[in-house]
Amino acid sequence: MIGINDFLTLITALLIAWSCSLLGCFLVLRKVVMVGDAISHSVLPGIVIAYLVSSNFNSGFILIGAAVFGVFTTFIIDFLHKKLKLQEDASIGITFTWLFALGVILIALFTDGNADLDQDCVLFGELGITFLDKIIIDGRLYGTRSMWMILPVFILVLLFVVFGFKGLQIISFHEEFAQSKGINVSFWHYVFMALVSITTVMSFESVGAILVVGLLVIPPATAYLLNDKLIPMLWISCLFSSIACVTGYYASIYFDVSVSSMIIVVAGCFFLLAILYSKLSRKKMEIIDEKAF
Amino acid sequence: MMEVLTYFFTDPIAQKVILGVAVIGGISGVVGTFSFLRKKTLIADAISHSVLPGVCIGFMFAGTKDPLSLMIGALVIGWFSVWSIDYISRATKLSEDTAIALVSTLFFAKGSVLLSIISKSQNAEQSGLKNFLFGKAATMTSVDIQVFIIASLVILSLVILFFKPFQLLCFNSEFAKTIGIKTKRIEFLLSSLTVLTVAIGIQAVGVVLMSALLIAPAASARYWTNKLPLMLVIAAIFGIISGILGVVFSTVKDNMPTGPWIVFSLFLFTLITLIFAPQKGWLSIRKRTKTNSRKIGEENILKTMYQLKEQGLEIVSFRDFLEKRAMDTSILYLFFKKLVKSGFLIENENHFSLTKIGETEAARIIRSHRLWELYLTKRMNFKDDHIHGTAETIEHLITPEIEKELLKELDFPTSDPHNKDIPY
């Protein structure tokens, strides 16, 4: 039985999950998942600053703050790694921890225990209560605020993937080749990372900093194990994240636990099954190979 | 300022916090150095995320917040996360960074599910479990600190005991294998030490920031020395100082979390190091590049002056020079001024000629160039139209010792492959 609140929560969850799954496929293929992980943490100071400037979550400030800090993170990582010759893993680790720490310090210094912005919501988000913030005009229900925040992001991601498909494909599979064809790889890289940070920020309130990474990486990784062609991978990834959202949502109600965490746990179960499947099918292939000889 | 300092070193609660944080900072520096050298620092991030479910499971088994059972839970699950990352990146086509991100977020999600189950059970003990998420440096108890100190001593003695194999594993694991060291076991030990460190450190700075404690001191120390023992000591000192600074900074306002300030001071240390460190720092690399390019520029001018002299032109105007070697005029002017100042050239109404020492120096560069060309054709079988480029670079690098070797090797030749004289 689907109630109106379930429906609204699920729509929000699905929009977040689809945006993340689409972008995540390219993160996985380009092997820059940890940069995405870093961005999801280091947009925190951007959010806090935008929040302090505009004193609410609705304004375009947050989008701009997020995009700026996302690109800034990517830039610092590259700067530490390439200019200051620090090894890459350390560059990533130092950058995101520092920016996250900066965000927490800003929260503690300036928000005075404001309930809208605390560490709990930063880490976990509260998908389960997003339906409380309904938009009702003239007695008619027009969805929830979270839903209207993530919808434009989803459309943006979708447009980017559809219209930038050729470019994304070529930089995901063969960066050097793209460069030699005169494609501006670093432009695509930064635009892509800006989009990752916008998505992260818009899903922040609902699923939190750590779990949004789960949606960015687990469904695409699952899809990649099952199929390594790009277009099927995108579809499979969206399909798995949708199933994970619906199953996770009802499971969380059943066990009475946090919704977003449960969605990730369900997605993780799918991932385990995918590993099992890819192992088995490889064994089968080996048996066929042996028989052929 | 003095009052603040005396407060910190006399107040018993403040002393306790500082002691705890210093122990954690120091031991993270030591263990982090090994992770850093093996380029495995991001695994620490996954471990720290998986400590959350570990602690929850430990709590569920023990039913109390007994530090020992929490730590055992953290150890077991932390180790399981290391194994999962290893397995995923080994057995599937997913890359290691995908595996790390996947495992850390998945384990964290499990932890948060467990946490919400625990918080619904009516156990009054559960209130402090969230401290593992954000750290609780300010409320550490004497028991906590005793546990930290004992664990740190265990870690430290293991590091000293297994120093040689650890060192080999970091710098040359292939070699370690060939001389019969069981690298799998040593890796297991090292991962366990990392997990243990994370399990205690996380209580000071929390899940997200723990990896900074492991990475930053080690990364900074690497820029100050090449020797592992010294590096361990420096990393430990950085960790300790940042910990203490973090505690001091965090007192600027009530209810201020300590962890972020520790990370903040760590970052300052790292930044200062990356910019100012001798030899590897940004400034000294820049300075070296500058000195080198100046040296190369000056040497090229002296060389050109010598070549002009060989053609019979001893007193050279700017115009003559530029016809031989195209250069930016303003830079050329600066270089000429400098060379005159250091006594290699003399100037006479905008005309320049080589002095005695200028000529010796120029001859040395030309000699290096031509000797190298000769070496390439005679010993390396290069065609004589392929040799000028590399000789142009290497002439600035050949030391008197190498020159002597070349002379001996080529039996003191008198002309180069293009039939030009080699000056002595």
**What pLDDT, on the 0 to 100 scale, is given for residue B14?**
77
Which residue type is seen at B154? V
Report which DSSP code applies to B352. E
Q: Quick check: A221 and B102 CB within 8 A?
A: yes
Q: Quick check: B36 and A87 CB within 8 A?
A: yes
Q: Quick check: B260 and A90 CB within 8 A?
A: no
Q: Quick check: B92 and A94 CB within 8 A?
A: no
**What pLDDT, on the 0 to 100 scale, is given for residue A222?**
94
A239 touches chain B (CB under 8 A): no
- Residue A142 makes CB contacts below 8 A (sequence gap 6+) with A135, A136, A148
Q: Which residues of A touch B116 (CB under 8 A)?
A: 256-258, 261
Q: Quick check: B95 and A101 CB within 8 A?
A: no
Which of A235, A254, A268 shows the shortest CA–CA distance to A21?
A: A235
In chain A, the residue whose alpha carbon lies closest to the alpha carbon of B84 is A272
3-state secondary structure of A234: helix
- Give the number of other Cβ atoms within 10 Å of residue A180's Cβ: 9
B101 touches chain A (CB under 8 A): yes
Which residue type is seen at B263? V
Q: Quick check: B274 and A104 CB within 8 A?
A: no
Q: Quick check: A94 and B270 CB within 8 A?
A: yes
Q: Which residues of A touch B256 (CB under 8 A)?
A: 105, 108-109
A 107-136 near B (Cβ less than 8 A): 108-109, 113, 119, 123-124
CATH architecture type of domain A4-207: Orthogonal Bundle (1.10)
In chain B, the residue whose alpha carbon lies closest to the alpha carbon of A262 is B113
Q: Which residues of B touch A119 (CB under 8 A)?
A: 133-134, 257
Q: Which residues of A touch B208 (CB under 8 A)?
A: 41, 97, 100, 123, 209-210
A 41-70 near B (Cβ less than 8 A): 41
Q: Which residues of B touch A31 (CB under 8 A)?
A: 95, 97-98
Q: Which residues of B touch A261 (CB under 8 A)?
A: 109-110, 112-113, 116
Tokens found for residue A258:
């946090």
Name which of A41, A221, A265 is nearest B110 (Cβ-Cβ). Answer: A265
What's the CA gap between B416 and A25, in Å, rounded?
60
ipTM of the complex as predicted: 0.88
Which of A190, A188, A213 shows the shortest CA–CA distance to A203?
A: A213
Which residue ranges in chain A fall short of pLDDT 50? 115
Sequence length of chain A is 293
Report which DSSP code applies to A127. G
Q: Quick check: A108 and B257 CB within 8 A?
A: yes
Per-residue pLDDT of chain B (424 residues; tens, 9 = 90+): 566 667 666 777 778 888 888 999 999 999 999 999 988 888 888 898 888 899 889 888 887 777 778 888 888 999 999 999 999 988 888 988 899 999 999 998 898 888 888 887 766 666 666 667 777 777 777 888 888 899 899 999 999 999 999 999 888 888 888 888 888 889 889 988 999 898 888 877 888 788 899 999 999 999 999 899 999 999 999 999 999 888 888 877 776 778 888 998 999 989 899 888 888 888 888 899 899 888 888 888 888 888 888 888 888 888 888 888 888 888 888 888 888 888 888 888 888 888 888 888 888 888 888 888 888 888 888 887 888 888 888 888 888 888 888 888 888 888 888 878 888 7
**What pLDDT, on the 0 to 100 scale, is given for residue B27?**
94
What's the CA gap between B417 and B379, in Å, rounded?
12
| End-to-end Cα, chain B, rounded Å | 67
3-state secondary structure of B334: helix
Name which of A37, A90, A101 is nearest B36 (Cβ-Cβ). Answer: A90
A181 touches chain B (CB under 8 A): no
Q: Quick check: A97 and B94 CB within 8 A?
A: no
C-alpha angle A204/A251/A124, rounded to 5°?
20
- Smallest CA–CA distance, residue B128 to chain A, in Å, is 14
- Smallest CA–CA distance, residue B296 to chain A, in Å, is 23
Q: Which residues of B321-359 are buried (b: 16+ CB within 10 A; e: fewer)?
A: beeeeebeeeebeebbeebeeeebbeeeeeebbbeeebb
- Give the number of other Cβ atoms within 10 Å of residue B7's Cβ: 12
Q: CB–CB of A212/A200 below 8 Å? A: yes
Report which DSSP code applies to A143. E
- Smallest CA–CA distance, residue A53 to chain B, in Å, is 21
Tokens found for residue A11:
């729509």
Helix (H) or strand (E) holding B346: strand B345-348
Sequence length of chain B is 424
Span B1-36, pLDDT tens digits: 566 667 666 777 778 888 888 999 999 999 999 999
CA A44 to chain centre: 14
Span A81-102, pLDDT tens digits: 888 888 888 999 999 999 988 9
Which of B356, B371, B378, B377 shows the shortest CA–CA distance to B404?
A: B371
Which residue type is seen at A291? K
What's the CA gap between A209 and A37, in Å, rounded?
9
- Residue A288 makes CB contacts below 8 A (sequence gap 6+) with none
What's the CA gap between B345 and B363, in Å, rounded?
14
Alpha-carbon distances of A213 from A38, A217, B193, rounded to whole Å: 9, 6, 27
Residue in this structure with the two tokens 């928000």, named with its chain if needed: A111
Q: Tell me the torsion sign for CA atoms A67, A72, A77, A78.
A: positive
Domains and CATH numbers, chain B: 2-280 (1.10.3470.10), 284-354 (1.10.10), 359-409 (1.10.60.10)
* B60 half-sphere exposure, CB direction, 13 A CA radius: 18
